[in-house]
Chains A and B, each alone.
Chain A
């Protein structure tokens, strides 16, 4: 019987070695190892052997079964690996064969700068106020220390509407009227910015648009000084452009602030850019808004959002920003 075991063992190993598929291997299970299989069936015949041979033959059968199982496992791993490899090889893709890519929307360049600036000021502890684009003469001029006959009004190139006969409703020329509305409704302390769209009767050219965006800031608190103004200007320009930019104030004139200043920033290469105007809120403006200038002081500043975007992205001509040309929009 030992001879039978040896034959069955060899035949089974041969069957395993020649198996080409996993199904062939499964056949080894049923044809060899199962109770009815070539090796399995030998076990059932052990009982018929003489007692002294049983142990030897039994051991031989078990060893043969183990050897076949082990060979089948090994062969199974080989076949699986080969199958996987075949599949992987067949699945090869040229990843540069791309016919379409997902569309990504592009935020308007001015709005990108707008939101970036909002984030900068939120970080400095500011909140954001908004207001109407059509304004009354009172909010746009009078409350800002520019009564009817004030010569500085002529510098604003205001667009007036037919809303009422006396021409007192106009398109706001700056977002300063929002400052007045804030001062009238919010109890100080005030740390706020007012971004928004503004309008001037300006012929479009490389640096001017009749419709553009401005951001103004207003801080009113006890013991606010001009050093706080300079510090705020420096902080936000550094946050927006980078720490290697510096800023300076130089005297200027606005009816609604005093002392007033123009603020410039210096690029790392040493060149200067004029950015906007600022100053300490004029006592008359505080009074007009119902605040006691002896108790409160503050500063205000304003600049063009579009200008900031242009400077950051090197846009030479502001008109491109408002062409709505997707060839421009998709660049940013």
Chain B
């Protein structure tokens, strides 16, 4: 919304200091995005006369224009608009000019021919929205002058404001001025009474057929209208507010809307069929050609404004029909101002996809009781150009019973205001804050106040809404800052602690943390060896990327490939995040769990296993490494499922070479994936002290020739079991395949350390352990070397 400072000052004396006014608006919750000065001179833009124009055979969209800026030299510019002729005076932005939108004009050549500036449209000069052609100035405008000076233009300060949903009133200058006036102690004293007729009775009839959808429809007939241009001040303000001036009647209609947030429409009574209106729901498939020339097909949920002959002339609250405009010949107008039911009107607006100044206002909520004031302002403003304007008796005010009440009292407790805000305000202080903005305190009984809510704040309905108004006008900055004394004790949950411990282990392992994509195409999931039976986004941001990740594998591979493409190899990444498995779709919500994924590029499966072992030791994780169960997409001879009971809780190994290739990853990628919802669920085990021995230890090595079919893990387990409690350390320190070891076997060399807590071990004890180990391993088909 564009708010014009001079307009505010017409309503309440808020002052000329734009920065101070903007700061006050921000304090009130009317957020000022930008302060602009429009309509004044742009330095470097001067008036120039068109000497001649010429097409260039190789340029279809631009032509060449020669102008004289009053100094007798011919200047050449390229121009994309064709609406000027020799003799026209136009604004010329000379090279180096900084335009209001921040663009700097440069002598940019086209087809090798320089342009010594740019001819400007009204919108390029910040003079409203008209960019349909170059601004043609009056023929007698002196040349070579700053164009603003030449035209004696006055500037306007405009605030671009971002309005919240609860302030529909601020879509009119009156709403902003009222709030500011109250805040600054410069009150708006507003007469909300309507207009008195001074002419004969002429009515424009209203037949409210579907009144639930149009709760109020008012008409007022005015004659003595002479259609002409608006006065400069009005055209300037409309332009500053972003609306193009058209003629005095349309301009006044728009002006009233921008001032009072009351959309309205002026019809030519002569051409209005039957001289009246009929408001009804459309028939399914009924069509209307709207103002913008589009043929709209309607549903039985859309509201039509028809003339008295039932011919559609507009879509209620959304847009007028093509033939509803007044013309230069119009002398008698019907001023219509109505109230449309918000939610249904919004449905129509969204269905048709048309958002107009009017429909946007109806969507947010207009004042159901603002019509009389709108009519009076319309008449006052139109009289400036039509002094003989006659206001006819016989105004119609059709209302439906569903119209909101004009008086809406809300019980408000002084104690509740203070309870929520932490203030110590009394009834008088609260009333002093509320009354100036139309929240009128009409009753007081001790703690209980009765506050009449203003009709222009349809968003306000309850005590808490009143409390918010008190807070706004008391000032958020005055509420103070108190840190509450928490009655909980601050801590991480056991699971959150475990997650942090896990992250520390991963970071300590040298892994970098990634956050990879969430959405994938079907083909990407298939390429990663994942199920494409994933949760689907029905309105994806990117067409085709509509599947929610069932695993982080595809995202991690994309990240590795991205890094490879920037010549970063050997990248090791981990991610902790939610994934969404297909599931059986039976619960209220889809399955979803927290997972860990680790990818080591340039490393083989042993890197993943080493990390898994580290996590087992550090986190107390436990699972069976089942190399007989290979997860899809992983390397068939270098991967395993991590199982607990019958459930898979993860996978370890390497990415399948085909999968890597599909993602453009050239390196080998070791892979570990864990279901953290399972593995972090167990509470943290707090490490318990074990005594360390004061007696000497004995070390010895054992090397076995073990068939490839016997996993090292089994030998490991057999050694531990056979050695019993005396074994304090066991390490596989050498693996050898080749000469001296029969093919189909490999040599595994272990170093063992034996130690007792209470004595020095004798040679006999050590020999006994050694014998037991050899006996146990021999049973596995493993031979001591």
A residues bordering B, Cβ < 8 Å?
102-108, 110-111, 115, 118, 121-128, 130, 132-136, 149, 151-152, 159-164, 167, 169, 171, 189-192, 197, 199, 201-203, 210-211, 219, 221, 223-228, 230-235, 248-253, 255, 258-262, 280, 282-283, 297, 321-327, 329-330
Given the complex of chains A and B, what is the CA–CA distance between A192 and B484 in angstroms?
13
As a 0/1 sequence over residues 573 to 607 of chain B, the CB contacts with chain A under 8 angstroms (1 = contact) are 11001101000010011101000000000000000
Interfacial chain B residues near A152, Cβ < 8 Å: 165
Given the complex of chains A and B, what is the CA–CA distance between A201 and B490 in angstroms?
35
Cβ contacts A to B, 19 pairs, < 8 Å: A111-B515, A125-B485, A126-B488, A136-B589, A149-B343, A163-B589, A189-B487, A210-B518, A227-B422, A228-B483, A249-B477, A250-B29, A251-B476, A252-B31, A255-B165, A259-B472, A283-B462, A297-B420, A325-B562
- Known contacts A107-B507, A159-B537, A211-B518; is-contact A325 B487 (Cβ 8 Å): no
Instruction: Tell me the B454-484 residues at the A interface (CB within 8 Å).
Output: 462, 464-465, 467-468, 471-472, 476-477, 479-484
Interfacial chain A residues near B573, Cβ < 8 Å: 324
The verdict on B628 contacting chain A, using a C-beta distance below 8 Å, is no
Interfacial chain B residues near A126, Cβ < 8 Å: 486, 488, 490
CB atoms of B536 and A197 under 8 A apart: no
Q: A133-B592, A225-B419, A250-B476 are known; give 16 further A-B pairs, CB within 8 A.
A: A104-B510, A107-B503, A118-B496, A134-B535, A160-B537, A189-B487, A231-B481, A234-B483, A253-B166, A253-B167, A255-B165, A259-B467, A260-B468, A262-B31, A282-B464, A330-B512
As a 0/1 sequence over residues 356 to 371 of chain B, the CB contacts with chain A under 8 angstroms (1 = contact) are 0000000110000000
Partner of B488, one of A118, A125, A297: A125
B349 CB → nearest A CB, Å? 11
Partner of A226, one of B421, B490, B563: B421
Interfacial chain A residues near B568, Cβ < 8 Å: 325-327
The verdict on B131 contacting chain A, using a C-beta distance below 8 Å, is no
- Known contacts A219-B484, A221-B484, A225-B422; is-contact A106 B512 (Cβ 8 Å): yes
Partner of A121, one of B487, B490, B535: B490
Interfacial chain A residues near B762, Cβ < 8 Å: none
B122 CB → nearest A CB, Å? 30
Given the complex of chains A and B, what is the CA–CA distance between A255 and B468 in angstroms?
13
As a 0/1 sequence over residues 207 to 218 of chain B, the CB contacts with chain A under 8 angstroms (1 = contact) are 000000000000
Given the complex of chains A and B, what is the CA–CA distance between A128 and B491 in angstroms?
8
Interfacial chain A residues near B479, Cβ < 8 Å: 225-227, 230, 249
B350 CB → nearest A CB, Å? 8
Given the complex of chains A and B, what is the CA–CA distance between A106 and B509 in angstroms?
10
Given the complex of chains A and B, what is the CA–CA distance between A330 and B774 in angstroms?
49
CB atoms of B539 and A160 under 8 A apart: yes
The verdict on B492 contacting chain A, using a C-beta distance below 8 Å, is yes
- Known contacts A124-B486, A231-B481, A325-B563; is-contact A250 B26 (Cβ 8 Å): yes
Nearest 3 CB-CB pairs, A to B? Answer: A125-B486, A251-B29, A225-B422
- Known contacts A124-B490, A327-B566; is-contact A251 B515 (Cβ 8 Å): no
CB atoms of B165 and A159 under 8 A apart: no
Given the complex of chains A and B, what is the CA–CA distance between A163 and B585 in angstroms?
7
Interfacial chain A residues near B514, Cβ < 8 Å: 108, 324, 329
CB atoms of B539 and A201 under 8 A apart: yes
CB atoms of B420 and A159 under 8 A apart: no
Partner of B539, one of A149, A159, A249: A159
CB atoms of B467 and A258 under 8 A apart: yes
Given the complex of chains A and B, what is the CA–CA distance between A124 and B343 in angstroms?
43
A299 CB → nearest B CB, Å? 9
Instruction: Using CB atoms, name the residue of chain A closest to B513.
Output: A108
Interfacial chain A residues near B503, Cβ < 8 Å: 107, 111
CB atoms of B513 and A106 under 8 A apart: yes
Instruction: Using CB atoms, name the residue of chain A closest to B593.
Output: A132
The verdict on B690 contacting chain A, using a C-beta distance below 8 Å, is no
CB atoms of B536 and A161 under 8 A apart: yes
Interfacial chain B residues near A234, Cβ < 8 Å: 481, 483
The verdict on B287 contacting chain A, using a C-beta distance below 8 Å, is no
Interfacial chain B residues near A136, Cβ < 8 Å: 588-589
CB atoms of A122 and B490 under 8 A apart: yes
Partner of A228, one of B346, B422, B538, B572: B422
B439 CB → nearest A CB, Å? 14
Given the complex of chains A and B, what is the CA–CA distance between A197 and B515 in angstroms?
11
Tally of chain B residues near chain A (CB < 8 A)? 83
Interfacial chain B residues near A230, Cβ < 8 Å: 476, 479-482
Given the complex of chains A and B, what is the CA–CA distance between A250 and B183 in angstroms?
14
Interfacial chain A residues near B566, Cβ < 8 Å: 325, 327
CB atoms of A251 and B578 under 8 A apart: no
Interfacial chain A residues near B484, Cβ < 8 Å: 191, 219, 221, 224, 228, 231-232
Instruction: Using CB atoms, name the residue of chain B closest to A221.
Output: B487
CB atoms of B472 and A251 under 8 A apart: yes
B601 CB → nearest A CB, Å? 10
CB atoms of A199 and B27 under 8 A apart: no
- Known contacts A149-B343, A226-B479, A329-B514; is-contact A127 B592 (Cβ 8 Å): no
B555 CB → nearest A CB, Å? 8
- Known contacts A230-B479, A230-B480; is-contact A167 B538 (Cβ 8 Å): yes
CB atoms of A159 and B419 under 8 A apart: no
The verdict on B741 contacting chain A, using a C-beta distance below 8 Å, is no
The verdict on B559 contacting chain A, using a C-beta distance below 8 Å, is yes
The verdict on B330 contacting chain A, using a C-beta distance below 8 Å, is no
Given the complex of chains A and B, what is the CA–CA distance between A202 and B480 in angstroms?
36
CB atoms of B464 and A162 under 8 A apart: no
The verdict on B227 contacting chain A, using a C-beta distance below 8 Å, is no
B561 CB → nearest A CB, Å? 10
- Known contacts A128-B492, A191-B487, A283-B464; is-contact A250 B592 (Cβ 8 Å): no
Instruction: Using CB atoms, name the residue of chain B closest to A263.
Output: B476
Partner of B512, one of A127, A132, A255, A326: A326
As a 0/1 sequence over residues 90 to 113 of chain B, the CB contacts with chain A under 8 angstroms (1 = contact) are 000000000000000000000000
Instruction: Tell me the B485-507 residues at the A interface (CB within 8 Å).
Output: 485-493, 496, 500, 503, 506-507
CB atoms of A105 and B506 under 8 A apart: yes
Residue with the highest number of chain B CB atoms closer than 10 Å, among A108, A110, A330: A108
Interfacial chain B residues near A323, Cβ < 8 Å: 562
As a 0/1 sequence over residues 22 to 42 of chain B, the CB contacts with chain A under 8 angstroms (1 = contact) are 000011110100000000000
CB atoms of A128 and B493 under 8 A apart: yes
CB atoms of A161 and B590 under 8 A apart: yes
Instruction: Using CB atoms, name the residue of chain A closest to B493.
Output: A128
Given the complex of chains A and B, what is the CA–CA distance between A171 and B546 in angstroms?
12
Instruction: Using CB atoms, name the residue of chain B closest to A323.
Output: B562
Partner of A162, one of B420, B535, B578: B535
CB atoms of A105 and B540 under 8 A apart: no
Given the complex of chains A and B, what is the CA–CA distance between A107 and B576 in angstroms?
11
Instruction: Tell me the B592-636 residues at the A interface (CB within 8 Å).
Output: 592
CB atoms of A225 and B420 under 8 A apart: yes
CB atoms of B538 and A160 under 8 A apart: yes
Given the complex of chains A and B, what is the CA–CA distance between A250 and B30 in angstroms?
9
Partner of B515, one of A163, A258, A322: A322
CB atoms of A203 and B488 under 8 A apart: no
Given the complex of chains A and B, what is the CA–CA distance between A124 and B485 in angstroms?
8
A170 CB → nearest B CB, Å? 9
A291 CB → nearest B CB, Å? 15
A135 CB → nearest B CB, Å? 7
Given the complex of chains A and B, what is the CA–CA distance between A252 and B566 in angstroms?
44
CB atoms of A324 and B164 under 8 A apart: no
Given the complex of chains A and B, what is the CA–CA distance between A296 and B577 in angstroms?
35
The verdict on B571 contacting chain A, using a C-beta distance below 8 Å, is yes
CB atoms of A163 and B535 under 8 A apart: yes
As a 0/1 sequence over residues 527 to 541 of chain B, the CB contacts with chain A under 8 angstroms (1 = contact) are 000000001111111
Instruction: Using CB atoms, name the residue of chain B closest to A213.
Output: B515
CB atoms of A226 and B548 under 8 A apart: no
Given the complex of chains A and B, what is the CA–CA distance between A223 and B484 in angstroms?
10
Interfacial chain A residues near B563, Cβ < 8 Å: 324-326
Interfacial chain A residues near B512, Cβ < 8 Å: 105-106, 326, 329-330
The verdict on B516 contacting chain A, using a C-beta distance below 8 Å, is yes
Interfacial chain B residues near A324, Cβ < 8 Å: 514-516, 559, 562-563, 573
